[in-house]
Copies of this chain bind each other. A is one copy, B any other.
Amino acid sequence: MFDYKLLAALGAVVEQGGFDRAAQVLGLSQSAVSQRIKLLETRVGQPVLIRANPPEPTEMGRRLLNHVQQVRLLESDLGDLIPDLDECSSTQRLRVALNADSLATWWAPAIGAFSAQQPLLLDLLVEDQDVGLRRMRAGEVAACLCAVERPVAGARSLALGSMRYRALASADFLERHFPNGVSLRALTGVPAIVFGPDDRLQHRYLAALGIEGGFVHHLCPSSEGFVRLIEAGIGWGLVPELQVLESLASGALCEVVADTPVDVPLYWHHWRNGGELLNRLTEHLVRTVPTWLVKAERNLARRG
């Protein structure tokens, strides 16, 4: 068997983002943690950590972390039967990658009831839709939410429904830039807001309206900040309908082009052998999440 004390040290250094904090969590001295990592590296014959700030796992380190996390999940199943086996009976941790917009809208209410009944600590990683899947493949997370259906080896994916986005701007912004109504041709010249280099939603929206080429934009990698910038009249952008129901109803935010939604599908990817807790969470999500999402995909459909 592996020496799990060494693997636990690796897990703590990566999860806590440093040797000193890992030492605190493990109740060891910092030099003891260092020694365990060095011993682990001697055993596997290569580095497991890149000594940066914060330390990052090497490819080998990632594989070992993946393994530790799977073992922990399996242990937690056993722990239900034999609670005293666990040396330090901590609540089960689950690492999940999800997109900022899900976290800003339906994730917390969906998970709330589950969390009240199950001892569970969540390590959430906010990632663009497709990066989560890379983390899944690298074994850094036990589950992820993403727009791609195809699962990685060892995992399953389940369709939850689609997030409906609308291209929105403040009434004031539209009045300032388009006093005579929105001109599609001029839209590329007024500032959009883009989440980050991987966010192609605004590009796809413009392309679907027949507008090709670049457009001026701010960059704002925060779901809440994105909506705040739009509300403050700084730009237009695609926002989950769920996040702005009140502002839409009050007319504070308006669609840039009437009735042109973009639906983005969401799939829940999870390890097949991720243990009982992950299975229960999966069942819970599949049962409850569709109420917040839309079923059919409708993209830039126009009325009439």
Within 8 A of B (CB), among A124-154: 124-126
A103 contacts B222, C-beta separation under 8 Å: yes
- 3 tightest CB-CB pairs across the interface, nearest first? A17-B197, A112-B232, A108-B228
The one of B104, B107, B122, B219 in contact with A124, judged by C-beta atoms closer than 8 angstroms, is B219
Which residue of B is nearest A18, CB measured?
Answer: B197
* Interface flag for A91 (CB, 8 Å): yes
A279 shortest CB reach to chain B, Å: 20
Interface centre among A91, A108, A216, A217 (most CB of B within 10 A): A108
Asked if A100 and B222 sit within 8 Å, CB to CB, the answer is: yes
Q: Tell me whether A198 is interfacial, beta carbon within 8 Å.
A: yes
Give residues in A with beta carbon < 8 Å to B: 15-18, 21, 24-25, 54, 90-91, 100, 103-105, 107-109, 111-112, 115-116, 121-126, 176, 191, 196-198, 213-214, 216-225, 228-229, 231-234
Q: For residue A149, give the distance in angstroms from its CB to the closest CB of chain B.
A: 22
A1–chain B nearest beta-carbon distance, Å: 27
Measured in the bound complex, the distance between the Cα atoms of B112 and A219 in whole Å is: 15
A232 to chain B: which residues have CB within 8 Å? 108-109, 111-112, 115
Instruction: Give CA–CA (A273, B35) in the complex, Å.
Output: 47
Contact of A122 among B112, B197, B219 (CB under 8 A): B219
Q: How far is the CB of A16 from chain B (nearest CB, A)?
A: 6
On chain B, the residues within 8 Å of A197 by CB distance are 15-18, 21, 54
- Contact B103 A218, beta carbon cutoff 8 Å: no
Q: Which of A24, A112, A125, A196 has the most CB of B within 10 A?
A: A112
Contacts of A124 in B (CB 8 A): 218-222, 225
Bound-complex Cα distance A57 to B271 (A): 35
A185 CB → nearest B CB, Å: 18
* Chain B contacts for A25, CB-based, 8 A: 214
Q: Quick check: B222 and A121 within 8 Å, CB to CB?
A: no
